[in-house]
Chains A and B, each alone.
Chain A
Amino acid sequence: DVKVTQSSRYLVKRTGEKVFLECVQDMDHENMFWYRQDPGLGLRLIYFSYDVKMKEKGDIPEGYSVSREKKERFSLILESASTNQTSMYLCASSYAGRGRPQHFGDGTRLSIL
């Protein structure tokens, strides 16, 4: 069974802090993704990575960066957290190739005060 593990289920930080969200997958997937999910807006892609040290911007990359130093780990960084980044953050991973489903972690509910 695929396991995508996000480091925290709930996180509270202050505005201006640098925030790290970690995601680890155990299936040797090539692709990894970070989304945020907000009521009425659905899932929106922040960044994704198709290989170690490679990254691509998604639809809403502003205010975020990512790091993928090892194949199994994909980190999302909020450089200077702001209140509008309060959200549910979901990590996903998949094999490369057409039609390969993404497998999601349980999410991190992040509150920026």
Chain B
Amino acid sequence: GQNIDQPTEMTATEGAIVQINCTYQTSGFNGLFWYQQHAGEAPTFLSYNVLDGLEEKGRFSSFLSRSKGYSYLLLKELQMKDSASYLCAVNQAGTALIFGKGTTLSVSS
């Protein structure tokens, strides 16, 4: 079967660092995406990992371990505007993505 797990909710304070984990079990693997979705808005692309290791993009970094079926999104220097849902999605093969249920992050001052 296929399964993607993320925590449902997380809270953090402004200026802190937060790590959102994603574990997956899929029949194939062709890369993992992270998206950000603010309430009432469209998801927007954050990162893509296909090889093991860390990809850094400003305040956001994403890590992948294919042997462990594990990824995380690391958000540094948190800001209020980072309050959103974060979606992990796996490309099994071909074109389609399988999405996790998303992690809602609340950042407080």
Q: B-contacting residues of A (Cβ < 8 Å)?
A: 4, 31, 33, 35, 40-45, 48, 50, 56, 58-59, 90, 94, 96, 98-99, 101-107
| From B30, B33, B43, B44, residue with most partner A Cβ within 10 Å | B43
Q: Among B11-19, B71-79, B89-97, which stretch is in contact with chain A?
A: B89-97
Contact of B87 with A by CB under 8 A:
yes
Contact of B50 with A by CB under 8 A:
yes
A57 to B, closest residue via Cβ: B96
Give the contacting residue for B96; candidates A41, A48, A107; CB below 8 A: A48
Give the contacting residue for A102; candidates B30, B97, B101, B102; CB below 8 A: B97
CB distance from B53 to the nearest CB of A (A): 15
Q: Which B residues between 25 and 70 are near A, CB-CB below 8 angstroms?
A: 30-31, 33, 41-45, 48, 50
- Chain B residues with CB under 8 Å of A59's CB are 98
- Chain A residues with CB under 8 Å of B41's CB are 106
- Chain B residues with CB under 8 Å of A107's CB are 42
Given contact pairs A42-B101, A45-B97, A58-B96, a sample of 9 additional A-B residue pairs in the complex whose CB atoms are under 8 Å apart: A43-B43, A43-B87, A45-B98, A48-B96, A50-B95, A99-B31, A102-B45, A103-B45, A106-B42
- Chain A residues with CB under 8 Å of B50's CB are 98-99
- Chain B residues with CB under 8 Å of A101's CB are 33, 45, 48
- Please report the C-alpha to C-alpha distance between residue A49 and residue B84 in the assembled complex, in whole angstroms: 29
